[in-house]
């Protein structure tokens, strides 16, 4: 199958990393759809919702790249599966990392299934600085299967474990935050920024007139 027949749902956050990730996928010839996930709805001191601004920035990226844009809300799921557990852990004197839990339950679970089941995607992509042991073409060849619930998984699955690898930019490497995502998610995920440095990503954004995300303050 030609690259043009490959459908990739790319998580777009309104930031420079996800914008460049979507751009690179588009340049590879894939049919790219941008998906903005609303996981929280905080208001700043002026009463304006920062999530809405991020959504608008993500939409402008998709307009610039001429790709479809979708918005999904996982506010309820985030509250039940991330934030509530976070509060419980704090009460027990533990300090979990919400980004790790969010990636596990929201981005690489609900978003993955939404992309496959609702958008007909062949793979998902994010702007994380990470890599896997699979090449793009191998990702497209993987079957989308849920993790078996039984205690013992078959030997074939164990032998063919997908490895999560460090990104080329060791300063920005985000594999720690991806450490709990499932094998099923890894099999179906492309990380377009894995071989790039942050400085080069910014250079790409500038060259393609993505200044509205390039100038944003990053956390």
Q: What is the pLDDT of residues 144-187, one digit of tens each?
A: 665 454 545 554 444 578 999 999 999 999 999 999 999 999 99
What rounded mean pLDDT belongs to the chain? Answer: 88
* Radius of gyration from C-alpha coordinates of the chain: 17
- Non-local (6+) Cβ contacts of 15 within 8 A are 54, 57, 127, 213, 216, 218
- Please tell me the total number of residues recorded for the chain in this structure: 219
- Angle among Cα 22, 174, 170 to the nearest 5 degrees reads 105
CA 86 to chain centre: 21
User: Residue 166 forms beta bridges with which residues?
Assistant: 130
Q: What is the pLDDT of residues 183-218, one digit of tens each?
A: 999 999 999 999 999 999 999 999 999 999 998 877
100-to-4, 157, 189 alpha-carbon distances in Å: 33, 24, 16
- Residue written as tokens 């009460």? 91
Instruction: Please report, for the chain, the start and end positions of each structural domain, with discontinuous segments joined by +.
Output: 7-210
Considering the domain delimited by 7-210, tell me its CATH architecture. Answer: 3-Layer(aba) Sandwich (3.40)
Q: What is the pLDDT of residues 34-83, one digit of tens each?
A: 999 998 766 554 545 678 899 999 999 999 999 999 999 999 998 888 88
């Amino acid at each position: 199958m030609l690259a043009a027949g490959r459908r990739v749902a790319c998580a777009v956050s309104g930031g420079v990393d996800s914008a460049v990730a979507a751009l690179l996928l588009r340049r590879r010839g894939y049919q790219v759809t941008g998906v903005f996930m609303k996981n929280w709805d905080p208001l700043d001191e002026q009463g304006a919702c920062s999530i809405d601004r991020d959504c608008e920035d993500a939409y402008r990226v998709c307009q610039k790249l001429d790709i479809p844009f979708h918005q999904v809300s996982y506010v309820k799921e985030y509250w039940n599966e991330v934030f509530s557990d976070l509060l419980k852990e704090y009460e027990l004197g533990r300090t979990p990392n919400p980004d790790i839990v969010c990636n596990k339950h929201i981005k690489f679970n609900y978003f993955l299934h939404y992309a496959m089941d609702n958008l007909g995607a062949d793979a998902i992509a994010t702007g994380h600085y990470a890599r896997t042991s699979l090449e793009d073409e191998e990702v497209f060849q993987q079957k989308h299967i849920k993790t078996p619930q039984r205690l013992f998984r078959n030997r074939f699955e164990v032998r063919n474990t997908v490895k999560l690898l460090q990104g080329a930019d060791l300063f920005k490497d985000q594999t720690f935050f991806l450490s709990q995502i499932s094998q099923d998610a890894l099999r179906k995920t492309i990380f377009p920024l894995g071989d790039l440095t942050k400085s080069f990503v910014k250079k790409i954004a500038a060259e393609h007139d993505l200044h509205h995300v390039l100038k944003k303050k990053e956390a």
